[in-house]
Amino acid sequence: MGAVMCGIIGYLGKNNALPVLLDGLRRLEYRGYDSAGVAIQNNGNVAAVKAVGKIKELENKIAGKNIAGKLGIAHTRWATHGKPSEANAHPHTDCAGEVWLVHNGIIENYQPLKKHLESRGHKFQSETDTEVLPHLIEDLYNGNLTETLQKVLKLLKGTYGLAAFHRAAPLIIRD
Ligand code: GLU
């Protein structure tokens, strides 16, 4: 099997994240992808937009929306689990919409993890292997995303490049 990796980007800085992320997605276009998405945090609120098809489709959906915020993540997806669709496009989130995450690769043991999470009441919105990740973080969250993510990574089999944020995270932007 060829390892087709698509793209993930994260931004935290002094400027608005959206133009930086869209520029990054355009630079990743050569890799091939079937859908794309962004999530941007602003004062504890999160705006997420996803689209099937080209980055242009995503830009068209964003046009006219005022999406400000200095923290964000973005993704171009090459579907491995679940068809190319808006629901399956990244970023993915947990039940409460607190943790937002993009992922390249495959979580090979997502099925038992998903069953376990569903038995604990988690509701899934996509068919992806990726969506177990924000729900696992939600399930194990101790107030520190990095620590929680380290615990989650120990549960995973597979390959992953990840970027994630918590909507309540304080933004520390240095000069
Ligand atoms: N396995 C994930 C999915 O199907 C990520 C695929 C990718 O690397 O873009 O959504």
pLDDT in tens, 21-50: 999 999 988 888 999 999 999 999 999 999
Q: Where residue 100 falls among pLDDT bands split at 50, 70, 90?
A: very high
pTM as predicted: 0.94
Specify which residues 161 forms β-bridges with: 104
Residue 2 located in a structural domain: no
**How high is the pLDDT of residue 5?**
58
Is the pLDDT reported for residue 4 higher than 60?
Answer: no
Local structure of residue 163 (DSSP, 8 states): E
Pocket test for ligand 1, best of 125, 128, 160 (most atoms within 8 A of CB): 128
Residue 1 located in a structural domain: no
Is the pLDDT reported for residue 101 higher than 90?
Answer: yes
Is the pLDDT reported for residue 116 higher than 70?
Answer: yes
Tokens of 11: 């931004």
**How high is the pLDDT of residue 2?**
41
Distance CA 58, CA 62 (A): 6
Q: Where residue 123 falls among pLDDT bands split at 50, 70, 90?
A: very high
Helix (H, G, I), strand (E, B) or coil at 85: coil
CATH number at residue 134: 3.60.20.10
Residue 132 located in a structural domain: yes
To the nearest whole percent, how much of the chain has pLDDT over 70? 97
Number of structural domains found in the chain: 1
To the nearest whole percent, how much of the chain has pLDDT over 90? 89
Q: Ligand 1 centre and the CA of 117: distance in Å?
A: 20
Distance CA 122, CA 172 (A): 31
Residue 172 located in a structural domain: no
The residue length of the chain stands at: 175
Q: Ligand 1 centre and the CA of 173: distance in Å?
A: 30
Residue 137 located in a structural domain: yes
Q: Ligand 1 centre and the CA of 28: distance in Å?
A: 15
Q: Spell out which residues line ligand 1, taking CB within 6 angstroms.
A: 6, 77-82, 88, 103-106, 128-130
The answer for residues whose C-beta is within 8 angstroms of residue 55's C-beta and 6 or more apart is: 22, 25, 26, 29, 36, 76
Full residue range of the structural domain in which residue 117 is found: 7-166
